[in-house]
């Protein structure tokens, strides 16, 4: 499936591909819970981020040890699960950012000149 | 939508591609795809072949691999859930159990018939009682496991407990009334009953199972959370606490959005319970490990308990060949099970399961884009 440009935001496949890195980056600012992560990323311009995409992504990050969690009392609910970047998550974020920079360079340069 | 049968569609393929198309159809038959989906895929492939002017193998490569790729891309969430279950419906389970009982009656019936004569009465009431108890409890426990696996906990409990109690009760009654007396039936009747049980098993009506989609359509948050929790516990073997913890952030998300003045539609925001559970599948390695261990420890425990009955017979001076055979079979079974319990096997199983669940979750996400 080719990701077509979407006037209402990034294509869904792009959003999902970038989401783990964006979540790690958002958590590098400090621990927070799922709903706040969703709101922050939407305010940054990611586009509508559904819970169906967000929570499985957070669960995967937690299972792979890139994110640590603890529980805080919530407002009238079961409690907030607060997500925090682990040391492994910090290193992963750094590595992913470097790779992403390379990708951005590649995308920008492709088509502007011939391959030497 | 085409109404042609798969074979009619295959006949419309260029002659040199018909073998490929048969392979493609055969590959799809082994998947969860419905006959309509398979027909539609055959049509779509034919259209692409005609449009490209290339041979099928050049366009799509190996037919079996292509069928698996297409199946993964086309599965509905319901079909993805079914891929997780070892048995697709309770009818298959009942057929299996009836067929095993029938074959046992047939095999032992023929043996006893040749040994004691076809017109003798070798079968005793106690043996009938054992058969009723064994088959009844076996079937009840399998149905308990089946319904539990599908997250239908109440039905599992009722079927398991009630079925076992009724079987034991009936067996007890038969044993009590008949005692160790021979039954007034000739030995030739037992194999015939066995054949009848096997035939009857395949003639049983197929009950309508509750599908996940049917139970997932409700958009009420309470039923959404309840259904999601049940599916996480049943399908992936999470404990009640683990399932509660997995759903808790979603519940808090829903509460926070209401505080913000947003009324979320559960299925639009989080998908159906079935879809959400599939998305969480890759993060279920701990329950997968536990289920793997339980599935091996349970038969081991049964074998060891049975061993306490078999071992004393082995040391009797008048032990029979049968006692020795049972002792050897038991030791072999325990040895193989212990060997299978190696952590290396467990890691391999969990890695395979998680990778399958990752593929399902990824395909589900890709399906949302199509």
* pLDDT tens figures, B132-157: 999 999 999 999 999 998 889 999 99
User: Which residues of A are less than 8 Å from B257 in CB distance?
Assistant: 35
Taking each helix axis as running N to C, give the angle between helix B35-52 and helix B63-74, from 0 to 180 degrees, rounded to the nearest 10. 120
CB contact under 8 A, B370 and A1: yes
Q: Which CATH class is domain A12-109?
A: mainly alpha
Per-residue pLDDT, averaged over B288-302, amounts to 93
Of A11, A12, A81, the CB nearest to B249: A81
Q: Do A56 and B257 touch (CB under 8 A)?
A: no
**Over residues B315-344, mean pLDDT:** 90
For residue range B10-50, list pLDDT tens digits in order.
999 999 999 999 999 999 988 878 888 899 999 999 999 98
Using an 8 Å CB-CB cutoff, list chain A residues near B285: 63
Task: Kindly list the residues from chain B whose CB atom is less than 8 angstroms away from the CB atom of residue A81.
Answer: 245, 248-249, 252
CB contact at 8 A, A62 and A81: no
More confident residue, B11 or B80: B11
Q: Give the pLDDT of residue A78.
A: 66
User: What's the rounded mean pLDDT across residues B186-199?
Assistant: 93
Minimal-distance CA residue of chain A relative to B252: A77
Task: Kindly report the pTM of this predicted structure.
Answer: 0.78
Name the residue among B354, B369, B77 with its Cα closest to residue B231: B77
Interface size, chain A vs chain B, as Cβ–Cβ contacts under 8 Å: 87
* CA separation, residue B197 to residues B160, B188, B189 (Å): 22, 15, 12
pLDDT value, residue A92: 96
Q: What is the mean pLDDT of chain B?
A: 88
* Lowest-pLDDT range of B92-96, B117-121, B229-233, B334-338: B92-96
| Residue-level pLDDT at A75 | 63
More confident residue, B224 or A13: B224
The whole-number pLDDT of residue B1 equals 53
Which residue in A has a C-alpha nearest to residue B249's C-alpha? A81
B351's CB contacts (< 8 A; 6+ apart) are none
| CA atoms of B102 and B100, how far apart (whole Å) | 5
pLDDT of amino acid A1: 46
Q: For the residues B245-256, what does the mean pLDDT come to?
A: 91
Tell me the chain B residues in contact with residue A58 when contact means C-beta distances shorter than 8 Å: 249
Whether B55 has a pLDDT exceeding 80, the answer reads yes
Helix (H) or strand (E) holding B78: helix B77-83
Inform me whether the pLDDT recorded for B311 exceeds 90: no
| ipTM reported for the complex surpasses 0.85 | no
pLDDT in tens, A52-92: 999 999 999 998 999 999 998 766 666 789 999 999 999 99
pLDDT 10s digits, A16-25: 889 999 999 9
Two structure tokens written together for B54 = 């290339």
Of A51, A60, A62, the CB nearest to B253: A51
Q: Which long-range contacts (CB under 8 A, 24 or more apart) does B44-52 make?
A: B45/B21, B46/B9, B46/B12, B46/B13, B46/B21, B49/B13, B49/B14, B49/B17
Residue B241's pLDDT band (boundaries 50, 70, 90)?
very high
What are the residue boundaries of the structural domains of chain A, listed by start? 12-109
Confidence (pLDDT) at A102: 95
């Amino acid at each position: 499936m080719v990701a077509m440009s979407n006037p209402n935001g990034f294509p869904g496949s792009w959003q999902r591909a970038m989401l783990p890195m964006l979540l790690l980056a958002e958590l590098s600012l400090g621990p927070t819970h799922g709903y706040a992560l969703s709101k922050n990323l939407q305010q940054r311009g990611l586009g509508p981020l559904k819970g169906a995409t967000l929570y499985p992504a957070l669960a995967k990050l937690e299972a792979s040890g890139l994110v640590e969690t603890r529980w805080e009392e919530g407002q009238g609910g079961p409690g907030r699960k607060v997500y925090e970047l682990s040391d492994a998550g910090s290193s992963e974020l750094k590595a992913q950012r470097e790779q992403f920079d390379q990708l951005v360079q590649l995308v920008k340069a492709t088509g502007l000149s011939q391959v030497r | 939508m085409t109404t042609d049968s798969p074979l009619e569609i295959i006949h419309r393929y260029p002659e040199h591609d018909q073998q490929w198309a048969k392979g493609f159809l055969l590959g799809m038959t082994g998947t969860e795809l419905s006959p309509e989906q398979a027909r539609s895929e055959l049509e779509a492939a034919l259209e692409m072949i005609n449009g490209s002017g290339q041979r099928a193998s050049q366009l799509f490569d190996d037919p079996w691999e292509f069928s698996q790729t297409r199946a993964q891309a086309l599965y509905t969430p319901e079909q993805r859930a079914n891929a997780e279950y070892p048995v697709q419906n309770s009818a298959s389970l009942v057929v299996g159990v009836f067929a095993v009982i029938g074959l046992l009656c047939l095999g032992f019936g023929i043996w006893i018939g040749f040994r004691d004569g076809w017109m003798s009465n070798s079968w005793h009431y106690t043996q009938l009682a054992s058969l009723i108890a064994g088959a009844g409890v076996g079937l009840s426990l399998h149905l308990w496991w089946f319904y539990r696996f599908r997250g239908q906990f109440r039905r599992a409990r009722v079927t398991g407990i009630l079925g076992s109690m009724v079987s034991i009760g009936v067996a007890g009654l038969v044993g009590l009334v008949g005692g160790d007396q021979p039954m007034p039936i000739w030995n030739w009747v037992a194999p015939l009953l066995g054949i009848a049980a096997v035939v009857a098993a395949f003639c049983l009506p197929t009950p309508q199972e509750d599908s996940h989609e049917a139970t997932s359509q409700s958009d009420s948050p309470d039923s959404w959370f309840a259904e999601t929790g049940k599916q996480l516990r049943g399908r992936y073997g999470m404990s009640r606490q683990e399932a509660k913890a997995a759903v808790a952030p979603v519940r808090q998300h829903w509460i926070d959005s209401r505080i913000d003045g947003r009324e979320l539609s559960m299925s639009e925001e989080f998908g159906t319970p079935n879809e959400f559970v599939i998305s969480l599948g890759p993060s279920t390695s701990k329950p997968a490990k536990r289920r793997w261990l339980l599935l091996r420890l349970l038969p081991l425990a049964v074998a060891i308990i049975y061993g306490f009955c078999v071992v004393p017979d082995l040391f009797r001076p008048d032990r029979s060949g049968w006692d020795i055979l049972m002792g050897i079979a038991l030791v072999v079974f325990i040895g193989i099970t212990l060997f299978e319990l190696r952590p290396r096997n467990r890691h391999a199983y969990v890695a395979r399961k998680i990778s399958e669940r990752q593929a399902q979750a990824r395909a589900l996400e890709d399906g949302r884009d199509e």
